[in-house]
Amino acid sequence: MWFWIIIIIILVILISGVKIIPQSRAKVVERLGSYYGTLQTGVHYIMPFVDRVAQDVTLKEIVKDFAPQPVITKDNVTMQIDTVVYFQITDPKLYTYGVDNPISAIENLTATTLRNIIGELELDETLTSRDIINTKMRSILDEATDPWGIKVNRVEVKNIIPPRDIQEAMEKQMRAERERREAILRAEGEKKAAILIAEGEKESAILRADAKRETHIREAEGEAEAILKIQAARADALKLLKDAKVDEAVLKLKSYEAMVDVANGQATKIIVPSDLQNLATAGTVISEMIDSKKNK
């Protein structure tokens, strides 16, 4: 009976020495108080009562959001800044034996580094230089934590909280800047509108002037064309008379007919051509022509 109990106890002790290390984890083993080795992913066996696991660490990236820290800028403005640090354990042995309480050490190192960096910047530079602050802090922290087996991958300034009076002054400044931009945009809009109206009026006046000029040109062209047609018709008539080889008598007859037409009109004076042979003959001819027309 006691034999089986002893056997079971021995088996339990032996089995307790089997260690299964999951992915992304590691165990630091000490033998009789001294560092013995680091167990990586897989199945391992340690000697009970002789070996012990001194530290069980994760190899995943760790994110730590540290509380806001009071810092003073170069122009003596006190503000609260909190940071987020992304780091990863690269050497479990250094992480275990390099520093006591590594997370607290990183927090304190972050606070002091942040104060040093912000102390070299003025308020406006602090508010607009987050990338510069992040880069400097990551470089300094990564170098400082290297002996601890820690690699700092990234540092982010999460919040920058200036004093209340500074916030009110900044809000007033931002409000004034927005009003100034609004006034500028309104003035530019009115200017563009006035320019467009003036250009429209100018184009309208030009179009009206062009229309009048075109009308006058067309009227002048119409009158000129009419005059040309009348002159052409007269030239054609003279050409026909010339081609017909009319004698002087026919020309005189035409003159007489013209005078008869004048006599039938409302004219009160008749001018007799000077090339007629004599007034008596002209009067006789005109009387006969008028009588003949009346008889008809």
Q: Quick one: what percent of the chain has pLDDT higher than 90?
A: 17
Supply the pLDDT for residue 286: 46
Main-chain phi, psi angles of 265, to 5 degrees: -85, -165
Burial of 126 (0-12, 13-18, 19+ CB in 10 A): buried
Give the rounded distance of the alpha carbon of 272 from its chain centre. Answer: 92
pLDDT digits (tens, 9 = 90+) for 30-47: 988 888 988 888 888 888
pLDDT band at 92 (very low <50, low <70, confident <90, very high): very high
pLDDT at residue 276 greater than cutoff 60: no
pLDDT at residue 272 greater than cutoff 60: no
Query: What does the pLDDT average to over 80-108?
Result: 90
pLDDT at residue 192 greater than cutoff 60: yes
- List, in sequence order, every residue forming a beta bridge with 45; answer none if it has no partner: 18
Average pLDDT, whole number, for the chain? 79
Hey, where are the domains in the chain?
Answer: 2-58, 61-162, 247-296
Which amino acid is residue 14, in one-letter code? L
pLDDT at residue 85 greater than cutoff 90: yes
Neighbours of 158 (CB within 10 A): 12
Neighbours of 197 (CB within 10 A): 10
pLDDT digits (tens, 9 = 90+) for 114-154: 999 988 888 888 888 888 889 999 999 999 999 999 999 99
pLDDT at residue 293 greater than cutoff 50: no
pLDDT at residue 246 greater than cutoff 60: no
Q: Beginning with the edge strand found earlier in the chain, give each strand of the sheet holding 25-31 in spatial order.
A: 34-39, 25-31, 51-58
Task: Look up the CATH number of domain 61-162.
Answer: 3.30.479.30
The encoded tokens of residue 148 equal 């601890």
pLDDT at residue 237 greater than cutoff 80: no
Supply the pLDDT for residue 278: 47
pLDDT digits (tens, 9 = 90+) for 5-22: 888 887 787 787 788 888
Supply the pLDDT for residue 292: 52
pLDDT at residue 89 greater than cutoff 50: yes
Question: Are the C-beta atoms of 47 and 30 separated by less than 8 Å?
Answer: no
Which amino acid is residue 215, in one-letter code? T
